Amino acid sequence: MTLVAGVDTSTQSTKVIVCDADTGAVLREGRAAHPDGTEVAPEHWWRAFQEATAGGLLDGVAAIGVGGQQHGMVLLDEAGNVVRDALLWNDTRSAGAADDLVGELPGGAAGWAEAVGLVPVASFTVTKLRWVARHEPEVAARAASVVLPHDWITHRLRADAGDGPTTDRGDASGTGYWSPATGQYRPDLVRLAFGRDLALPRVAGPAEVVGETAGGALLAPGTGDNMAAALGLGLRPGDVVVSLGTSGTVFGVSAAPVADASGTVAGFADATGRHLPLVCTLNAARVLTAAADLLGVPLSRLDELALTAEPGAGGLTLLPYLDGERTPNLPAARGLLNGLTRANAGPANLARAAYEGMLCGLADGLDAVRAAGVPVERVLLIGGAAASAAVRAIAPALLGMPVTVPDPGEYVALGAARQAAWALRGTDEAPAWPLAGAEVTAAPAEGIRKVYSEVRDRAQALLR
Ligand SMILES: Nc1ncnc2c1ncn2[C@@H]1O[C@H](COP(=O)(O)OP(=O)(O)O)[C@@H](O)[C@H]1O
Ligand SMILES: O=C(CO)[C@@H](O)[C@H](O)COP(=O)(O)O
């Protein structure tokens, strides 16, 4: 049997799976946690990779692919050493830099959407470059190149440095200085943000072999975690994914590039040559852990509590912007609980409000993706919080349609493994791997979404 491995180096942890290259059947798994925080030394990701693969997990593996959290800025010096901790996608300090950059490009938001398929917000790499240039000039002076988390891990896995780090079109499309429409970098936008040029990783083809590990395994190009999930799920036009990890994301595939000047939908590329319009919130699974901590219960009990409450949580509405928010673009916002009375003040309603608030944000994302022209025929629910019974019960009602929950799995790592199998075989298409899952339905709950959007709109002054 030929073995391939897929790595998911995401916000909270590294997960590695080893699969049968022909069927995608998962044979071995490992994982290790990352430190908390929105700036992290990349060395921690490497240590987590080593811990996750300890004990011979990768023995006999013929090819490896790496999926990684998008947008994180890893600045390297001339020798390829990291010059500062990576600023992650959920670090909001560059919100002001984002506003400045929008104002500085002719055409503003529309100009950016046309140039690179997205409008700068704090998450995107280009805004982090501006922040470092303005706030840490001595660090900026040492930087010779900039790469993304998956580029850095992939390069670190290589036995020889070759002609330097590589990236792929999926992850490159989240930088803000690569155009999904033309497939070219925009070095002028790096200069606009950073004040000078930086070396950028070569954009490898979708199934290119970019190197070899010391153990002799071939390295696939890797990609961003959402693009890897799309590959792991074998996403087809009409499929839309709702992923509930650290971030909440909603995305589907499209043949043509998407440029949304409102900035709500980011017009990313996928890992196969298509496009992956995507909406991202900063607050998803960790809204539930925060609610569980608040109530002093484990997540399993939070689920039970939420399912004992009536839909609408007795009138409690949570705007779940605990870490600030990206969609809507409210980086300085904080969470807000509205409608508290003596009658509804109880653990069950509070628990329910957390699930409903988180899912209403994703339901808004689904509307935005649909409005961008992405057909929505089937919704697939993945990510850590898709394991929650309450999420599965409430999601179809708030998303307004049946939801397919694929069998529990690490779909980012699976997609990275599928890319590895593709690179290994050198075929035109990625190998066809089966996907199993169940559909859950619930009556639409438009009333809850209406109340949520009224609270959200009325609270704008408090949230800015
Ligand atoms: N049964 C569950 N109910 C709710 N949340 C869960 C459950 N199982 C895992 N999670 C949450 O999923 C998150 C991890 O999801 P994951 O998709 O791996 O995140 P990331 O890729 O961003 O690191 C954690 O915040 C964890 O608390
Ligand atoms: O910023 C985005 C997408 O634009 C996030 O989706 C990151 O890619 C991190 O993902 P997770 O760690 O939540 O999987």
| 25-61 pLDDT, tens digit each | 999 999 999 999 999 999 999 999 999 999 999 999 9
| Ligand 2 centre distance from Cα of residue 353 (Å) | 23
167 CB-side CA count, 13 A: 32
Tell me the catalytic residues.
225
DSSP string, 392-406: HHHHHHHHTS-EEEE
Question: Could you report how far apart the first and last alpha carbons of the chain are, in Å?
Answer: 56
Q: What's the confidence (pLDDT) of residue 63?
A: 98
Please give the ipTM for the structure prediction. 0.98
Question: Which segments in the chain show pLDDT lower than 70?
Answer: none
Q: What's the confidence (pLDDT) of residue 464?
A: 87
**276 neighbors 249 (Cβ within 8 angstroms):** no
> What is the Cα–Cα distance from 149 to 49, expressed in whole angstroms?
12
Amino acid residing at 10: S
| 381-396 pLDDT, tens digit each | 999 999 999 999 999 9
Q: What's the confidence (pLDDT) of residue 162?
A: 83
Q: What's the confidence (pLDDT) of residue 124?
A: 98
| 343 CB-contact burial (10 Å; exposed 0-12 / middle 13-18 / buried 19+) | exposed
Strands 178-179 and 184-185 come out as antiparallel
Nearest CA to ligand 2 atom 10: 69
| Ligand 2 centre distance from Cα of residue 12 (Å) | 10
Q: What's the confidence (pLDDT) of residue 334?
A: 96
**447 neighbors 363 (Cβ within 8 angstroms):** no
Which candidate, 413, 431, 432, 434, places its Cα nearest to that of 423? 431
44 a known binding residue? no
Ligand 2 pocket at CB < 6 A: 10-11, 69-71, 89, 123, 174, 224-226, 245-247, 249, 278, 280
Ligand 1 pocket at CB < 6 A: 10-13, 245-246, 285-286, 288-289, 299, 383-385, 387-388
Question: Which sign does the torsion angle of CA 38, 41, 46, 48 carry?
Answer: negative
Nearest CA to ligand 1 atom 18: 384
Q: Which atom of ligand 1 is nearest to the CA of 382?
A: 17
Question: Which of 29, 90, 246 has most ligand 1 atoms within 8 Å of its beta carbon, as the pocket-test mutant?
Answer: 246
DSSP 8-state assignment for residue 243: E
Radius of gyration, alpha carbons of the chain: 21
DSSP string, 208-228: ---EEBTTS-EE---EEHHHH
3-class secondary structure, 32: strand
Q: Which residue has the tokens 């298509």?
A: 274
12 a known binding residue? no
| 186-234 pLDDT, tens digit each | 999 999 999 999 999 999 999 999 999 999 999 999 999 999 999 999 9
> What is the Cα–Cα distance from 250 to 268, expressed in whole angstroms?
12
Q: What's the confidence (pLDDT) of residue 161?
A: 85
Q: Which atom of ligand 2 is nearest to the CA of 284?
A: 13
